[in-house]
Amino acid sequence: MVEDIRHFLDLADLSPEDARTIIDNSAEMKQQRLGRTKGAGDDEASLKGYLLALIFEKPSTRTRVSFDVAMRQLGGETIVLSAADLQLGRGESEADTGQVLSRYVDAIMIRGNSHARVEKLAAAATIPVINGLTDFSHPCQIMADVLTFEEHCGSIVGKTIAWLGDGNNVAVSWVHAAAKFGFEIKLGCPPDLNLRPEVIEWASRENVSFSLHENPDDAVRGADCVVADTWVSMGDEDTDRRKKILQPYQVNQALMDNAKPDAIFMHCLPAYRGDEVTADVIDGPQSVVFDEAENRLHAQKGILAWCLAQGAS
Ligand code: CP
Ligand code: NVA
């Protein structure tokens, strides 16, 4: 991997200072354009002349649209590609794809099935590669989530986040974020769908303030924020088994009542009401899910600005 390229593959790779810079810059850019129509540009067209390729191996609403709009508001342009329409989809190597795209565009955002393949693409690319979700992690989402938490509850430092459900890709990025931003993460996951062992080891090595709870009430107790995600992620096939195992981890009002009285509820969306969260919670007064979805746009700007800060390669 070329050393001075600013890939955004995982929060684990970022310094705490860079993670904080991205959040603060995102918040500032959001403030600066308050009241404008969505199609109006930001004052500083800081990515004018920059071209971002967006590659999707899996469906997306928020990631696709927020990156596209972020680039337009920053004065840049995008090319949106389905992996199935690229030679990548019929066997061209990640390394060759990374090198070729580096000759055409200034950065790549990829939503991939396999984290290892995204890492191979990044290793060969001479431009920044951004992870727009893989089977392992979803770092862009958690930057928007930290931004949202701080808007509603103040600094996230020293606060407590409770994750309920599958120890999936989004959970992994929350654990990474706990290390970088200095908050506590409590995971309420069934033993059969727990956080990956290598991430538990990583969190222990990094002295992350984290704990695993089989009992969902224990996970939520004292939390400033309760987070849920779908029980069946893209690529998961064992739907019936998952729904059965995860039922006790549903976020309903009785579970929310174990958190702090002013706790907020977050969900990256898409959500399945009646499964991982009840409608009264996700559509109720503690929920901030649509602020969170909006903040994908503002956080993408901070991420893009950080990745491209050193100019074109
Ligand atoms: N939260 C999220 O990544 O949404 P999309 O799958 O719609 O991009
Ligand atoms: N864990 C979910 C997140 C969707 C944004 C998935 O991977 O499908």
Assess whether 288 and 227 both reside in one domain.
yes
Distance from first CA to last CA of the chain, Å, rounded?
A: 14
Same domain, residue pair 79 and 168: no
- Would you say the CB of residue 169 lies under 6 angstroms from ligand 2? yes
Residues 153 and 29 both lie in one domain: no
Check which CATH number belongs to the domain holding 178 and give it: 3.40.50.1370
Mutate to test the pocket of ligand 2, among 58, 62, 111, 133 (most ligand atoms within 8 A of CB): 133
Residue ranges, the chain, pLDDT below 70: 1-3, 310-313
* Residue at 121 is within a domain: yes
User: Which residues participate in catalysis according to the annotation?
Assistant: 111, 138, 141, 229, 268, 296
The answer to the question of residue 146 being in a domain is yes
In a domain, residue 96? The reply is yes
Supply the range of the domain harboring residue 300: 11-138+296-307
Assess whether 155 and 280 both reside in one domain: yes
Nearest CA to ligand 2 atom 6: 233
pTM above 0.75, yes or no: yes
Look at ligand 1, atom 7, and give the residue with the nearest C-alpha: 61
- Output the pLDDT for position 312: 45
In this structure, is residue 128 part of a structural domain? Answer: yes
DSSP annotation of 313 reads: -
79 and 63 co-located in one domain:
yes
Other Cβ atoms closer than 10 A to 194: 16
**Is the Cβ atom of 234 under 6 angstroms away from ligand 2?**
yes
pLDDT of residue 4: 86
How many structural domains is the chain composed of? 2
CB 199 within 8 A of CB 175: yes
Question: Is the residue at 65 inside a domain?
Answer: yes
Tell me the β-bridge partners of 228: 164, 267
Do 266 and 300 fall within a single domain? no
Q: Provide the pLDDT for residue 313.
A: 42
**What are the DSSP E strand ranges found in the chain?**
51-56, 77-82, 107-111, 129-131, 160-164, 184-188, 210-213, 225-228, 264-267
Does any domain span residue 116?
yes
Residues 149 and 288 in one domain: yes
Domain presence at residue 125: yes
5 in a structural domain: no
Q: Is residue 157 located within the same domain as residue 260?
A: yes
Provide the pLDDT for residue 223.
98
